[in-house]
Amino acid sequence: MGKQEEIEENNVALALKEYRLKKIDIIIKYVIVIISIITLGISIYKYNKSKEDQFVNFMSIERYTVYKKLCNTLSSIAYNNDSISIDNTKKELWKIYHGEVLLVSDDDIYQKLMEFTQELDKKEQNLVNKDTFEANLTRITYDMVLLCKNSIAESHKLSFEKFKPGY
């Protein structure tokens, strides 16, 4: 009977060993699935983050281009105001603003542009002398350049959510 017991003991030990191996195999499969899910999540996050970064870079470049055009127009008006037609100047400014600047600008840019056109209105109505008019336009233009520079610098801190459509 010793041999029979020894065979049964070996069978039990073998069955126990197989059970443990199956259990380890199942645990390994679960760990692989969990690692795969985590890897997928990280990949999706990185993809979305890179898209946001591309958008922010695009907006920075767009802001620079548009603000450069706006500031050049303002400075051209400020320093060549002897021969300007105020009505045409205002139309040109608002054309630039509503055409390109509005897409990328801040409220401060709008306020400064309003201040510039109000100064043009004062000149049109002869409420201000030439020297004061030139000084005010120069100051407003300089302020606009600073606002544009700050806006471009801030564009790197843009929230992608701000530009998503709100359905």
Q: How far apart are CA 105 and CA 63, in angstroms?
A: 7
**pLDDT, tens only, 48-59:** 989 888 888 888
**pLDDT, tens only, 91-149:** 777 788 787 777 777 788 888 888 888 888 888 787 878 888 888 888 998 998 888 88
Q: How far apart are CA 80 and CA 90, in angstroms?
A: 14
**pLDDT, tens only, 107-122:** 888 888 888 888 888 8
Q: Whole-angstrom distance between the N-terminal and C-terminal Cα of the chain? A: 81
Range(s) of the domain holding residue 108 = 2-159
Report residue 158's pLDDT band, with 50, 70 and 90 as the boundaries. Answer: low
28 within some domain: yes
87 within some domain: yes
Domain count, the chain: 1
The candidate with the shortest Cα–Cα distance to 119, out of 138, 143, 105, 91, is 138
165 within some domain: no
53 within some domain: yes
Report residue 35's pLDDT band, with 50, 70 and 90 as the boundaries. Answer: very high
166 within some domain: no
